[in-house]
């Protein structure tokens, strides 16, 4: 599962045009949910669907739910597991939940209809283009 997600994200990254930022609408939608670490993945499912990521959301979350259900079944039926193994398995499931959530969020951020392009001196872009010199400064001390 994680290998497939990694391959999908790697493919996506290498097919992005240079100098891309996400639109403010998408950033604001995710800013509200990212403060709730444990439940933000669930809260972000409707956001992903709203911004046009319908079928990948159902596929990725469906695979996660089937795998998580199978995982819970194994944990419940195997009484020989020690407490540490049980806790570590639950933490691994939490990690997969976070990876699934962040994968969907990344995919929405990189959808073509939610991109803003910035021109640099080295390349000129067509379409909705802004100059990097006019962009607000980023405070790296935050």
Dihedral angle at the C-alpha atoms of 71, 77, 79, 81, nearest 10 degrees? -20
One digit per residue, the tens of pLDDT, for the chain of length 142 reads 888 888 888 888 887 777 777 788 888 888 888 888 788 888 888 888 888 778 888 888 898 899 888 888 887 887 777 777 778 888 888 888 888 888 888 888 887 776 665 545 454 444 444 554 555 555 545 5
Structure tokens at 88: 């570590």
- Predicted TM-score (pTM) of this structure: 0.68
- Helix, strand, coil share (%) of the chain residues, nearest 5: 65, 10, 30
Which residues contact residue 52 at a Cβ distance below 8 angstroms, ignoring those fewer than 6 apart?
Answer: 108, 111, 113
Rounded-to-integer distance, Cα 29 and Cα 44, Å: 9
Which residues contact residue 100 at a Cβ distance below 8 angstroms, ignoring those fewer than 6 apart?
Answer: 5, 41, 60, 61, 64
Rounded-to-integer distance, Cα 14 and Cα 5, Å: 14
Strands 129-131 and 115-119: parallel
- Quickly count helices (H) and strands (E) in the chain: 5, 3
């Amino acid at each position: 599962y994680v290998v497939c997600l990694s391959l999908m994200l790697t493919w996506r990254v290498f097919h992005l045009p240079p100098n891309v930022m996400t639109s403010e609408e998408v950033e604001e939608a995710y800013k509200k949910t990212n403060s709730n670490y444990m439940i933000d993945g669930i809260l972000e499912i409707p956001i992903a669907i709203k911004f046009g990521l319908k079928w990948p959301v159902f596929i990725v979350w469906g695979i996660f739910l089937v795998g998580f259900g199978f995982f819970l079944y194994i944990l419940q039926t195997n009484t020989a597991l020690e407490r540490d193994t049980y806790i570590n398995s639950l933490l691994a499931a939490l990690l997969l939940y976070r990876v699934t959530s962040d994968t969907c969020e990344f995919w929405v951020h990189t959808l073509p209809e939610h991109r803003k392009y910035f021109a640099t001196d080295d390349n000129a872009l067509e379409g909705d283009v802004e100059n990097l010199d006019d962009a607000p400064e980023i405070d790296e001390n935050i």
